[in-house]
Amino acid sequence: MADKIGMVLQTEPGGWALVSTDRKGACSGCESHPSACAVCLAGAQKMESRVANPIGARVGDMVKVHLASENIFTGAAILYLVPILSLLIGAFTGAWAAHFFGLQAVSGGLLGTLIGLIAGFGAVIGVDRSAVMRRRITPTITTIVAGVHEASGAQHASCCG
């Protein structure tokens, strides 16, 4: 995934920050004038995200936020595939086991589907609350582009590159 440019809105204890980014591509339209990066974030299509802040960015800093493509796919697989697979496994298991409980296959399938769906969402919630997995699939601030740190004379990457 391409890095996104964002503005730190709030810092939180434990190395976290709330960052506002543009819903479009990474700083699209800023290529012609690097100092116009703040304009990119002034549009109506903003998105606020809680991101890891290992470099200590402060409120008002323009930062690059990175999330690797494999982590996007991991998160999507957990969110979408786990409930669907558990739903299907529950449906087939319920239909198969229905005759052991004196039920029709359709009734057993429906009951198994409901149990499978609840189990799938329970698994997703459990994985989401896992600190290791949450840190892995969370975007991370990688660079301070511009902002409150500039007064110290630190060198920053350009807004769009």
Mention every residue, 6+ apart, whose C-beta is less than 8 A from residue 148: 58, 59, 60, 61
* Domain membership of residue 130 as a residue range: 70-134
- Give tens-digit pLDDT for 68-91: 888 788 888 888 999 999 999 999
- Structural domains counted in the chain: 2
- Give tens-digit pLDDT for 121-146: 999 999 888 888 877 778 889 999 87
Does 96 share its domain with 53? no
* Percent helix, strand and coil across the chain, each to the nearest 5: 45, 20, 30
Q: What is the DSSP letter of 37?
A: H
Dist CA 57 CA 67 (whole Å): 17
Q: Is the pLDDT of residue 18 over 90?
A: yes
Does 78 share its domain with 123? yes
Does 58 share its domain with 9? yes
Query: Does residue 81 fall inside a structural domain?
Result: yes
In this prediction the pTM is 0.58
Token couple for 13: 């204890």
Does 143 share its domain with 130? no
Query: Does residue 157 fall inside a structural domain?
Result: no
Query: Does residue 60 fall inside a structural domain?
Result: yes
